[in-house]
Amino acid sequence: MSKLTKLVNSPKLFLKDAVLKKLGVLPEATNKPKPKPKPKSQKYIDVSHVNFYQEISLIIHSGELLAAGANQIIPWIPVFVQADVKFVLLVRNEAFFEWIKKEYPWMSIAFARRGVDVEEVLNLLPDAKTVFYPSSTGNNIHLVRFNHLHHVFIGHGDSDKASSANKALRLYDEVWTAGQGHIDRFENIDFNTSHIEFVKVGRPNLRNILSSSQIYWQERMDNKVLYLPTWEGGVEEANYSSILFSGQIIREVQKLLDSPVMIKYHPLTGSRDNKFNNINKMTEDVVNRESLNATVLNASVEISTVIPSNNIFICDISGVITECLAANAPIFVYIPADKEIKVASSNMGYEEYCYTYSTVDELIEKATKVIAGNDYLIEGRKKAIEYFIGYEETINNEFKRKIQESIFQSN
């Protein structure tokens, strides 16, 4: 309100304000923007969860956010614990750090946000010799630059996705693979990998599953289905997910088999397309409303813990295919018909050990034949288990041996 307008419309208010202003009670301008609140202080480093008086020679580095980090680290923790080695988990995301401290309070865990904070952590670890990387994040470079450390990429699964064999992996001294399949992916791409040392170590988290899957799948238990769709991908061109019609898959499979179905969505579901943010609840609502014999698992559930209780698997193009392969049972893989599938190809195609489908009708048609006894990919699965998982290396605990060997060599 201008002074003239206030004088005409509210002369008493005008005179009152004039007197207050003269006395210094009323500020010159009452519409000044409010000062912005000070930002909360950011934590850059936290080493309170590590006993640095121990001799710790191994570091596991995770540069991921909470959802991806938890999904990738959880399978490795028991493997390193069973190897009976001292290690510190170095994480770069504060939310992940706070979460994993609560989940594993007995474990040595450090948090470092920036590159300079990583250097400070390393200064407290004079015995550190080897760093293991479960994923290829940009902030891995903050450790890879240290020449006195040995850098080993172990990944978080085996997949034909293009990210499993790319130039970024040339940063590491060694790439530890499960079987020959991952090595062949590098052989089949068009850049030089001759300087990378590949080491076959098997898949230690699948050892128990491999050991218990020698009996024919239909003789182990009644039919039980595990459905594992991947997320929608970072870009639409890399979206190989079946989540758009996952309701139809669950409904039709349930109708065909009259068997329990477990559903576990990828932890990153909804990261790019927010209409899938609440997919667990939406699926649970359908399951309850239609009285389906199905269970929606929490995204944080470790896949290897639920594979043994199922013997039919429905997957998308992702690393879970190899995990399900360990169960030596039929795997049905969704191949989108409307996309060019860009993968880092190995020397075995999906069709050699998986039943591929592009529509729900095709899935049901093939599943019907397999359930009736026409499981014609039995031998293909056996070859794929050795090729992708490394049966002998897994059963013989090669990963554990290599970890302990790395400690011995560094002393």
Give residue-wise pLDDT tens across range 21-71. Answer: 554 544 444 454 555 555 555 789 999 999 999 999 999 999 999 988 998
Same domain, 180 and 288: no
Residue 86 clears pLDDT 60, i.e. is over it: yes
pLDDT of residue 2: 54
Q: Rounded to whole angstroms, how far apart are CA atoms 309 and 317?
A: 22
Q: Are residues 229 and 276 in the same domain?
A: yes
- pLDDT band, very low/low/confident/very high, at 217 (cuts 50, 70, 90): very high
CA 23, 29, 32: angle at the middle one, nearest 5?
A: 140
Claim to verify: residue 64 and residue 180 sit in the same structural domain = yes
- At residue 404, the pLDDT reads 87
Position 23 scores a pLDDT of: 47
Distance (Å) of CA 14 to CA 2, 4, 24, 27, 318: 10, 9, 15, 14, 72
pLDDT for 38 equals 52
Per the model's pLDDT, the better-predicted residue between 272 and 343 turns out to be: 272
- On whether residue 6 sits in a domain, the answer given is yes
Q: Judge if 307 and 382 occupy the same domain.
A: yes
Report the pLDDT value the prediction gives residue 281, as an integer from 0 to 100.
95
Same domain, 397 and 380: no
287, 359: one domain: yes
Same domain, residue pair 68 and 50: yes
Give me the CATH number covering residue 50.
Answer: 3.40.50.11720
**Confidence check: pLDDT of 119 > 60:** yes
Does 169 lie in the same domain as 59?
Answer: yes
CB-neighbour burial class of residue 222 (10 A; exposed 0-12, middle 13-18, buried 19+)? exposed
Same domain for 82 and 19: no
Is position 38 within any domain? Answer: no
Number of separate domains in the chain: 3
Domain for residue 233, yes or no? yes
Identify whether residues 181 and 320 lie together within a single domain. no
pLDDT value of position 187 = 85
| For residues 186-190, average pLDDT | 82
Q: For the chain, what percent of residues have pLDDT higher than 70?
A: 87
129 belongs to a structural domain: yes
User: Token pair of 36, please?
Assistant: 């912005």
What pLDDT, on the 0 to 100 scale, is given for residue 366?
97
Residue type, 76: W
| Minimum mean pLDDT range among 36-50, 141-155, 219-233, 389-403 | 36-50
pLDDT tier for residue 340 given thresholds of 50, 70 and 90: confident
Is the model's pLDDT at 4 over the cut of 70?
no
Mean pLDDT for the stretch of residues 111-135: 96
User: With helix as H, strand as E and coil as C, how does the chain read?
Assistant: CCHHHHHHHCHHHHHHHHHHHHCCCCCCCCCCCCCCCCCCCCCCEECCCCCCCCCCCEEEEECCCHHHHHHHHCCHHHHHHHCCCCEEEEECCHHHHHHHHHHCCCCCEEEECCHHHHHHHHHCCCCCCEEEECCCCHHHHHHHCCCCCEEEECCCCCCCEHHHCCHHHHHCCEEEECCHHHHHHHHCCCCCCCCCEEEECCCHHHHHHHHHCCCCHHHHCCCCEEEECCCCCCCHHHCCCCHHHHHHHHHHHHHHHCCCEEECCCCCCCCCCHHHCCHHHHHHHHHHHCCCCEEECCCCCCHHHCHHHCCEEEEECCCHHHHHHCCCCCEEEECCCCCCCCECCCCCCHHHCCEEECCHHHHHHHHHHHHCCCCCCHHHHHHHHHHHHCHHHHHCCHHHHHHHHHHHHHC
Q: pTM of the full predicted structure?
A: 0.81
In a domain, residue 327? The reply is yes
Confidence check: pLDDT of 362 > 70:
yes
In-domain check, residue 40: no
Nearest Cα neighbor of 202 from 394, 392, 385, 383 is 394
Q: Does residue 297 fall inside a structural domain?
A: yes
Taking residues 80-85, what's their average pLDDT? 93
- Pair (67, 181) in one structural domain: yes
> Which structural domain, as residue segments, surrounds residue 155?
45-207+393-410
pLDDT one-digit tens code per residue, 281-334? 999 999 999 999 999 999 888 898 999 999 999 999 988 999 999 999 999 999
Residue-wise pLDDT for 394-411, tens only, equals 999 999 999 988 776 655
Same domain, 164 and 309: no
Percent of the chain with pLDDT over 90: 68
Q: Could you tell me which residue, 340 or 122, shows the higher pLDDT?
A: 122
pLDDT at 141: 96
Mean pLDDT of the chain: 88
Let me know if residue 67 belongs to a domain. Answer: yes
Mean pLDDT of the region 129-150: 95
Q: Does 132 have pLDDT greater than 70?
A: yes
